[in-house]
Amino acid sequence: MLRGSSYTGGGGGGIGLPASGVLKQSAVPASVTGTVSETTLATIAVPAGAMGLNGAIQIISRWTFNNTANNKTLRVKFAGTDFLGYSATNSATGEILTIIQNRGVANSQIGDRLAVSGALGTTTANWVTSAIDTTVSQNITLTATLANTGETITLESYQVQILNP
Amino acid sequence: MITIPVVTTETPTGLLLTPSQPIPADAISIICDGEHYNVYQPGDTVPQE
């Protein structure tokens, strides 16, 4: 199959279109403890042009943290823009779906609601929008921030998929 | 286990810690303690939480 992009992972994508598929996934646990600074737990490079003009990135992340009232802030960023910024409290685990889509052009996106933990349904929160140039390589980063240095946040696993029509 | 120092960057929301070099592909567990990323590889004993 011909593909019009340097990205060659997975199937999908028609003639002249970028491919779809799993860009990267890992179940190697990555943790932070002992600091209240935001800490990068995973970095995934999205190759130039991997997202088509109507393409999307889908990120599933699974987290474990102390079940306390302290904030445990989980972030999913694309090119430095937060598409998730959720503070977990009084819970022990989280599985979060984050979707970022190009809006018919390579430099306009809509993504998930910043403080919503990936749940479908209605909310008062606004969508995150951005103007990231996806014709060049950009990074997805998953970060975690503790409020109490004695606690731990673990990124248990993640899957990053590129979805192109 | 190997240790990778953190790089601290100022961001609008505070400090951001990142590893100073890529995490090895054969890592089996990674723990950042605020100063280092402790990277466990096959054959290492991973500390229990």
> What is the CATH code for A21-163?
2.60.120
Instruction: Tell me if residue A29 falls in helix, strand or coil.
Output: coil
* DSSP helix, strand, coil percent of chain B (3-state; round to 5): 0, 50, 50
User: Which two tokens mark A156?
Assistant: 């248990």
Domain ranges of chain A: 21-163
Model pLDDT for residues A110-135, shown as the tens digit of each residue: 998 767 766 677 888 889 999 999 99
Distance of alpha carbon B9 from alpha carbon A151, whole angstroms: 22
**Inter-chain CB proximity A39 and B17 less than 8 Å:** yes
Q: State the Cα angle at A13 between A16 and A51, rounded to 5°.
A: 90
- pLDDT value for A117: 66
CB A23 within 8 A of CB A160: yes
Domain ranges of chain B: 2-40
- The proportion of chain A whose per-residue pLDDT surpasses 90, expressed as a percent, equals 76
Residues of A (7-46) whose Cβ lies below 8 Å from B = 28-35, 37-41, 43
Confidence check: pLDDT of A20 > 60: yes
Q: What is the mean pLDDT of residues A12-25?
A: 77
Q: What residue ranges in A27-137 does DSSP mark as E strands?
A: 30-33, 38-46, 56-65, 72-78, 81-88, 93-102, 109-113, 127-130
CB A16 within 8 A of CB A4: yes
What is the residue-averaged pLDDT of chain A? 89
Centre a 10 Å sphere on the Cβ of residue A56 and count the other Cβ atoms it contains: 19
Nearest residue, CB atoms, B29 vs list A28, A39, A143: A28
Nearest residue, CB atoms, A33 vs list B11, B29, B31: B31
User: Which two tokens mark B10?
Assistant: 């100022």
Model pLDDT for residues A53-109, shown as the tens digit of each residue: 999 999 999 999 999 999 999 999 999 999 998 999 999 999 999 999 999 999 999
Closest CA to A109 of A91, A86, A85, A127: A127
Go through A121-137 and write b for each residue having 16 or more CB atoms within 10 A of its CB, e for each that does not. eeeeeeebebebebeee
Token match 């190997």: residue?
Answer: B2
Nearest chain B residue to A38 by CA: give it: B16
Of residues A15 and A21, which shows the higher confidence score?
A: A21
CB A109 within 8 A of CB A101: yes
**Looking at beta carbons, which residues of chain B come within 8 Å of A149?**
34
